[in-house]
Amino acid sequence: MTDSQQESTVGRRTLSRRHLLLGGAAAGVGAAVAVGVDLVQRSGGETGLPAPEFYPTGNDTEPFYGTHQSGVMTSPQAHVTLIAYDLLPGTSREGVERMLRLLTDDAAKLTLGSAALADTEPELAVVPARLTVTVGFGPELVKRVNPAALPEWLTPLPAFNRDSLADEWSGGDLLIQVGSDDPLTVSHTVRMLSKDLRAFATRRWAQSGFRRALSSESPGTTMRNLFGQVDGTVNPAADTEDFDTVVWQGDGAGWMAGGTSFVLRRIAMNLDTWDKLDRSGREQAMGRNLKNGAPLTGTKEHDEPDFEAKTSLGFPVISDISHVRRARSENTHERIFRRGYNYDEAIGDGHDSNAGLLFISFQANPTTQFVPLQKRLDELDLMNEWITHIGSVVVAIPPGCTEGGFIGETLFR
Amino acid sequence: MYTRSLTLTALVAAGLLALSGCSSTPTPVETTAVAADALTVSDAWIKASDTGMTGAFGELNNSSATDITVVAASSDAAATVELHEVITGDDGNSLMQQKEGGFVVPAEGTHALEPGADHLMFMELTDKLEPGQTVSITLELSDGSTVKIEAPVKQYAGANESYAPGHGEPTDGSDSSMDNESTEH
């Protein structure tokens, strides 16, 4: 390894390059000086034009330690894999602690772009690309550690009439959400964590999802699902009081203070029958237009829908049984934070698609915030014609931890 | 294109080094210096095992201007801990044996302990080592000073080298490799 390569590695590990270029606080004087020198050196090139700029975003990192776990408020990465595990019968409270310490150590190292301990492919660890590892507990894990600490809401969702749930997409004692803008990083991280979990648990299922690739569109653009719809317009903004209220558990929540709940609904979308529907039918079903996701009574995505507006014939512009209308509650407590992904997988016989949505939501209390909402949609929603819920998961996302601690430590106190 | 970012990073790294250089005063090496003060171990870990023997790994870092030699190691987790190296035997297979003269960590340098190379060999484990446990290991240096480290136990499929003939073969007739799997029961 040459000196310059070595220095480059040091630079990468120490500071996120994007932070350096934005003149972030972390970079300080050294970076500003370096940028200045670099520009001076470059300005006298043959053409006199600045060189095209290329900055690998793979070195960007998200924090691991903190009040909350990353991967909730984190701006969604392009790729996600969710894995659920069932604890082995012999994994006791003490075993769960050992397992969580290993997971924490792996996750802390990998999110920084460092190999995990005993990582057999350390070269795959050096591109974190905003890697986050989020750990969630099913009821069984909480019971193994401290049965008295089981939150009332930590239970499978009630059965909804239209549910067609498969075991292979539902449940689990331990859930791990691995997100990154680089799918190779996701794969390596899942592999590393899986090896460390072998002694404690067996894998129950794995589900992967994707959004637009990094930098394909402006940051903050609302996701599109595979029906072509803008999906997730009504969402509390990160780092706001509203987000805190909707998502995080408060100080009174005991070991869960600073944590949240995670709901996953695997929603199969029938692209074949959706194809038969014309554009205006699609927009009526949703209550929003397809062009930019604006409500049918508005022009911009974030315009408030006007449910009172009537057509010249006296019908509501936004149908009373459209998705937007049915999802809206008069009770402002019944709100959630969505962070979903698309899936598109191997095709089964007789179909041209096996695609859908990993509907993922975070909310302080799934029973009082998510369930009423889903109950209304289950009862009546034009979109139900083309979608089927085939998987369901609820886990507790414990708060974050500080260096030296481990995710879930508050459950052991 | 790529050159630019490399240049930038290199400069930044150089800047940081220069800054850190300003803030610390070089310490002259004295003959009375204790080697243990200059030796740290990073990323230490030990392979999970139910019984018998296992290996421990990590990176030894020497911050002093003098070479440091690790001459022995011990742990409550094993009856004995040996310093091992892995060599290629006459038949081309990898074999492990005790390392003559111990592990030399060069001045201001590092020495890696890793599967398939130099490592700490735990013999006759006192109890099974389960994933996620922490094991204390004491390294003894050539000047008699000691360094204590904590190593988490990790499940690991590799590090299955066999013994070179006449080197540390178990006397109880058990498998002489480090291929031990540990699972919760």
Q: What is the pLDDT of residue A69?
A: 98
Long-range Cβ contacts of B37-40 (<8 Å, 24+ apart): B37/B64, B37/B145, B38/B62, B38/B63, B38/B64, B38/B66, B38/B68, B39/B63, B39/B68, B39/B70, B39/B105, B39/B139, B39/B141, B39/B147, B40/B147
Closest by CA position to A101, among listed A87, A122, A84, A117: A117
For residue B9, give the nearest of A17, A29, A199 by CB distance: A17
Q: Considering only CA atoms, which of B75, B70, B62, B183 is closest in space to residue B137?
A: B75
Residues of chain A neighbouring B2 (CB-CB closer than 8 A): 54
Residues of chain A found within 8 Å of residue B158, distances taken between Cβ atoms: 120
| B9, B158, B184 member nearest A91 (Cβ) | B184
The CATH number assigned to the domain holding B87 equals: 2.60.40.1890
Q: Which residue of A has its CA nearest to B132?
A: A98
Question: Is a pLDDT exceeding 50 seen at residue A294?
Answer: yes
Residue B49 lies in a domain: yes
- C-alpha distances (whole Å) from A343 to each of A49, A258, A298, B135 are 43, 30, 30, 43
Q: Does A192 touch chain B (CB under 8 A)?
A: no
Compare CB distances from A199 to B13, B14, B48 and report the shortest one's residue: B48
Per-residue confidence (pLDDT) for residue A16, from 0 to 100: 44
What is the token pair recorded at A14? Answer: 């120490």
10 Å CB burial of residue B87 (0-12, 13-18, 19+) is middle
Q: How many CA atoms lie within 13 A of B56 on its CB side?
A: 32
CB-based contact, A12 to chain B, within 8 Å: yes
List the one residue out of B138, B143, B107, B150 whose CA is nearest residue B35: B143
- Sign for the pseudo-dihedral over CA of A208, A334, A260, A395: negative
CB distance B70 to B101 below 8 Å: no
Contact check, Cβ <8 Å, A33/B154: no
For residue B74, give the H/E element and its range.
Answer: strand B68-74
Q: Phi and psi for A260 in degrees, rounded to 5? A: -155, -175
- How much of chain A is helix, strand and coil, in % rounded to 5? 35, 20, 50
Min Cα separation B147/chain A (Å): 20
The C-alpha atoms of residue A329 and residue A308 are separated, in whole angstroms, by 15
- The pLDDT mean for chain A works out to 90
* Confidence bin at A32 (pLDDT 50/70/90): very low
How far A351 CA lies from chain B's nearest CA (Å)? 41
Look at residue B12 and tell me if it is in a domain: no
**Averaged pLDDT for residues A373-382:** 97
Under the banding of pLDDT at 50, 70 and 90, the label for residue A25 is very low
CB A340 within 8 A of CB A223: yes
The answer to whether A198 faces chain B, any CB pair under 8 Å, is: yes
CB burial of residue A242 (10 Å; 0-12, 13-18, 19+): middle
pLDDT tops 60 at residue A187 = yes
Interface with chain A: mutation pick from B119, B183, B184, highest number of A CBs within 10 Å: B184
Residue range A19-33: average pLDDT?
Answer: 41
Three-state DSSP class for residue A24: coil
Residue B68 lies in a domain: yes
Pick from A7, A51, A199: CB nearest B182: A199
Name which of B17, B19, B5 is nearest A35 in CA terms: B5
Decide if B95 is inside a domain.
yes
Catalytic one of A86, A196, A231, A381? A231
Helices and strands in chain B: count of H runs, count of E runs: 1, 11
Determine the angle formed by the axes of helices A183-197 and A93-111, rounding to 10 degrees. 160
Tokens of A149: 């600490």
For chain B, the average pLDDT equals 80
In a domain, residue B2? The reply is no
What count of other Cβ atoms lies within 10 Å of the Cβ of residue B141? Answer: 21
Cα nearest neighbour of A12 on chain B: B9
- Asked if A90's CB is within 8 angstroms of B185's CB, the reply is yes
Using CB atoms, pick whichever of B12, B47, B158 lies closest to residue A120: B158
Q: For chain B, what is the radius of gyration of the CA atoms?
A: 19
Question: Do the Cβ atoms of A122 and A115 come closer than 8 Å?
Answer: yes
Ranges of beta strands (E only) in A7-110 are: 79-87
Residue B138 within any structural domain of the chain: yes
Q: Is residue B154 situated within a structural domain?
A: yes
Answer yes or no: do B184 and A200 touch at CB < 8 A.
Answer: yes
Task: Inform me whether the C-beta atom of residue A91 falls under 8 Å from chain B C-beta atoms.
Answer: yes
Q: Quote the percentage of chain A above a pLDDT of 70.
A: 89
Tallying the residues shown for chain B, one arrives at 185
B151 lies in which domain range? 35-160
Bridge partners (DSSP) of residue A202 are A86
Hey, what long-range contacts does A34-43 have (CB within 8 A, 24 or more apart)? A34/B8, A34/B11, A34/B12, A34/B15, A35/B8, A37/B11, A38/B4, A38/B7, A38/B8, A38/B11, A41/B7, A42/B4
Q: Is B40 within a domain?
A: yes
Query: Which stretches of chain B drop beneath a pLDDT of 70?
Result: 1-32, 165-185
Query: Model-level pTM?
Result: 0.84
Give yes or no for A126 touching B (CB within 8 A).
Answer: no
Q: Known catalytic residue: A231?
A: yes
Residue A55, pLDDT score:
80
pLDDT of residue B111: 98
Q: In the prediction, which pLDDT does A350 show?
A: 74
What are the distances in angstroms from CA B182 to CA A122, B50, B155, B185?
23, 5, 7, 9
Number of domains in chain B: 1
* pLDDT band, very low/low/confident/very high, at A50 (cuts 50, 70, 90): confident
Q: How close A339 gets to chain B, by Cα (Å)?
A: 32
State whether B130 and A98 contact (CB < 8 Å). Answer: yes
Query: Which backbone phi and psi does B102 adopt, to 5 degrees?
Result: 75, -170
A41 and chain B in contact, CB less than 8 A = yes
Q: Specify the range with the lowest mean pLDDT, choosing from A14-28, A140-154, B94-108.
A: A14-28
pLDDT tens string A110-124 = 999 999 999 999 999
